[in-house]
């Protein structure tokens, strides 16, 4: 999945939409996953979010239906989690219907976090399950349901083993990552990620799952968004859902249950502004799918479901934007700037260093919210290739391929340079100058401050000890070789992570913590797993959670 310069230049004339989508299509969101999403692959760069007056006010129940369909398991969303659930349920003998709001299935996620797979065992990877569980809980200040994290840890290996058998029939195979970087920093890393690839490249698993699902008799209805869940008087069992096809409504009865897998609400700016103003005000770009409108979360809360009360999103430090960009809800002004996750020198709009640059993606964005204008500038020089090799970042921030043999890559060195020259520099997002003074002028920051900051930084690099902010010595590399480059950076929104409260049977809970019979949630429609931030150094945990819970939900509901 690495972009060669040739491939990049071929698409360099594409619109900002297509270019921005590059980042989303392979990002670890979703696992990242985000992880699952019901999306057509478009981002928000030229699409307006669905407008609603107030997302949490229940509409009047729909009663006029064009037709009624009967199924056993209804899955809402044909993205990562939805297709895992569909295949699993159908394998276990259920009649399965999947409805999807968009004209095509979701693109899936590349990095899939799992523990205890056969591939890991064969590679000699030994992981302490509870160490990883505790690390995930620490990121969230333990404001999570540890039982759910353990559910992922206990079952994700089996999910990968199951997936391995499916993709082999399609000429692909699963790759287990063995490299976890230098692991010399303050944050722990673990080789938990897996990806699907063939002999040529890394590939998305959703197309394989769609083919497999259809071979099992799964019915997939595209351009059929769910608009309401059906629960008489908001009491008792959820019996199905109302969906829209064209301008008419259909009723779908689900005798065993409904599984929500619509991808969260990151494309619904009304919900985002209401529920998470900090994220709304700190992002300058997005790779969120336009289909992630909160359909599952809205419909469930309308019939009495409980939702996480801590707003949580996946934000990466890759929201490159023009120097005069302002934060505050305009997610169209920036573009995915992949190099932003490299731990180069970063300064605020006064030209002053303000943080240890070697921290998780969203931590960088959080720190910047305390600085002028909520954005910052990243500085690098002509030795950037050598520097990034020594930085040795992991996951979707890699610029060099993993020694494990994984083909999964967003931008390698060649594609990075091509993207900068052909797209980001013409748009003024990446700027270049032979002098630091000239660079500062192009960034709109005080030149004397920037020069003093770079001099101080270089001095610390020569000492081999960052006595100002404590960045690891092996990542303290001086900026001495012009021309210099820089980018103004804000947050890049990928997906939301605060969802519906669920139990370990993946049943949606009401506000009294009781399960709502017939209703299940997975992926970014489900909650209790993340809080405040995304633990990005647990690479692929979002997609791993989504895929594992989809795999389990299919089994659970089919067995009823």
Which contiguous run of DSSP H or E holds residue 25?
A: helix 16-26
pLDDT at 478 over 70: yes
Q: Which of these ranges, 154-158, 393-397, 518-522, has the smallest mean pLDDT?
A: 393-397
The overall pTM is greater than 0.95? no
Q: Would you place residue 19 in the very low, low, confident or very high pLDDT band (cuts 50, 70, 90)?
A: very low
Q: What is the mean pLDDT of residues 233-244?
A: 97
What pLDDT score was predicted for residue 235? 95
What pLDDT score was predicted for residue 43? 37
What pLDDT score was predicted for residue 537? 95
Q: Which of these ranges, 22-31, 200-209, 460-469, 519-528, has the smallest mean pLDDT?
A: 22-31
What pLDDT score was predicted for residue 131? 98
360-404 per-position pLDDT tens digit = 999 999 999 999 999 999 999 999 999 999 999 999 999 999 999
CB 490 within 8 A of CB 375: yes
Q: Would you place residue 109 in the very low, low, confident or very high pLDDT band (cuts 50, 70, 90)?
A: confident
Could you tell me the two tokens for 88? 């699993």
pLDDT at 18 over 70: no
Q: Distance between terminal CA atoms of the chain? A: 40
256-312 per-position pLDDT tens digit = 999 999 999 999 999 999 999 989 999 999 998 889 999 999 999 999 999 999 999
Q: Would you place residue 46 in the very low, low, confident or very high pLDDT band (cuts 50, 70, 90)?
A: very low
Q: What is the mean pLDDT of residues 88-109?
A: 95
What pLDDT score was predicted for residue 56? 84
pLDDT at 4 over 70: no
Q: Would you place residue 328 in the very low, low, confident or very high pLDDT band (cuts 50, 70, 90)?
A: confident
Average pLDDT, the chain: 91
pLDDT at 405 over 70: yes
CATH of span 314-493: 3.90.700.10
What pLDDT score was predicted for residue 302? 98
- Rounded Cα–Cα distance for residues 113 and 407 (Å): 16
pLDDT at 14 over 80: no
Q: Domain ranges in the chain?
A: 314-493
pLDDT at 191 over 60: yes
66-76 per-position pLDDT tens digit = 999 999 999 99
pLDDT at 205 over 70: yes
CB 113 within 8 A of CB 155: no
What pLDDT score was predicted for residue 11? 45
416-433 per-position pLDDT tens digit = 999 999 999 999 999 999
Q: What is the mean pLDDT of residues 475-489?
A: 98
CA distances from 185 to 32, 246, 346, 356, 547 (A): 23, 53, 18, 11, 29
pLDDT at 504 over 90: yes
pLDDT at 1 over 80: no
What pLDDT score was predicted for residue 181? 86
For the chain, the farthest-separated pair of C-alpha atoms sits apart, in whole angstroms, at 74
What pLDDT score was predicted for residue 24? 34
pLDDT at 255 over 70: yes
What pLDDT score was predicted for residue 2? 47
| DSSP string of 314-375, one letter each residue | EEEEEEEE-TT---SS-TTS-EE-GGGGS--EEE-TTS-B-S-SSS-HHHHHHHHTTSGGG-
What pLDDT score was predicted for residue 45? 35
Cis peptide before 483 (omega within 30 of 0): yes
What pLDDT score was predicted for residue 143? 98
What pLDDT score was predicted for residue 307? 98
């Amino acid at each position: 999945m690495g972009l060669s310069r040739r491939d990049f230049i071929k698409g360099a004339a594409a619109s900002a939409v297509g270019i921005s989508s590059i980042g989303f299509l392979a990002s670890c969101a979703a696992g990242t996953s985000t992880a699952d999403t019901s999306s057509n692959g478009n981002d928000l760069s030229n699409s307006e979010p669905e407008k609603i007056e107030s997302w949490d006010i229940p509409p009047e129940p729909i009663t006029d239906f064009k037709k009624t369909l009967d199924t056993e398991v209804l899955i809402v969303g044909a993205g990562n989690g939805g297709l895992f659930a569909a295949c699993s349920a159908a394998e276990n003998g259920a009649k399965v219907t999947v409805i999807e709001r968009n004209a095509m299935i979701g693109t899936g996620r590349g990095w899939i976090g799992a523990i205890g797979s056969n591939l890991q065992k064969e590679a000699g990877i030994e992981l302490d399950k509870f160490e990883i569980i505790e690390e995930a809980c620490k990121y969230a200040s333990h404001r999570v349901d540890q039982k759910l994290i353990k559910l992922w840890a206990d079952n994700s290996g089996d999910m990968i083993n199951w997936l391995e058998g499916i993709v082999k029939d399609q000429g692909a195979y699963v790759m287990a990552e063995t490299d976890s970087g230098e692991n010399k920093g303050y944050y722990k890393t673990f080789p938990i990620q897996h990806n699907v690839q063939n002999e040529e490249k890394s590939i998305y698993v959703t197309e394989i799952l769609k083919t497999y699902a259809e071979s099992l008799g799964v019915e997939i209805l595209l351009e059929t968004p769910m608009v309401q869940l059906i629960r008489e008087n908001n009491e008792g069992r959820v019996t199905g859902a109302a969906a829209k096809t064209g301008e008419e409504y259909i009723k779908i009865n689900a005798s065993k249950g409904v599984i929500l897998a619509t991808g969260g609400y990151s494309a619904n700016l009304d919900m985002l502004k209401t529920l998470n103003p900090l994220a709304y005000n700190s992002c300058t770009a997005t790779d969120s799918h336009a289909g992630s409108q909160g359909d599952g979360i809205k419909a469930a809360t309308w019939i009495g479901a409980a939702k996480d009360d801590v707003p949580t999103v996946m934000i990466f430090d890759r929201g490159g934007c023009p120097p005069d960009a302002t934060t505050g809800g305009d997610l169209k002004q920036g573009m995915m700037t992949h190099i932003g996750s490299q731990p180069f020198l970063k300064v605020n709009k006064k030209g002053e260093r303000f943080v240890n640059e070697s921290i998780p993606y969203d931590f960088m964005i959080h720190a910047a919210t305390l600085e002028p204008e909520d954005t910052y500038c990243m500085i690098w020089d002509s030795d950037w290739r050598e520097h990034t090799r020594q930085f040795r970042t992991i996951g979707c921030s890699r610029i060099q391929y993993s020694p494990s043999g994984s083909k999964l890559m967003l931008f390698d060195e060649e594609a990075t340079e091509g993207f900068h020259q052909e797209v980001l520099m013409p748009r003024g997002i990446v700027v270049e100058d032979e002098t630091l003074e000239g660079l500062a002028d192009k960034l709109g920051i005080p030149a004397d401050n920037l020069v003093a900051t770079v001099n101080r930084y270089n001095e610390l690099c020569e000492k081999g000890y960052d006595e100002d902010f404590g960045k690891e010595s092996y990542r303290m590399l001086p900026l001495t070789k012009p021309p210099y480059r820089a980018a103004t950076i804000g947050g890049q929104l990928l997906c939301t992570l605060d969802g519906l409260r669920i139990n370990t049977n993946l049943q949606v809970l009401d506000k009294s913590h009781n399960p709502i019979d017939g209703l299940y949630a997975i992926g970014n429609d489900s909650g209790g797993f993340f809080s405040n931030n995304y633990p990005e150094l647990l690479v692929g945990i979002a997609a791993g959670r989504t895929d594992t819970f989809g795999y389990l939900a299919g089994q659970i509901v089919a067995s009823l």
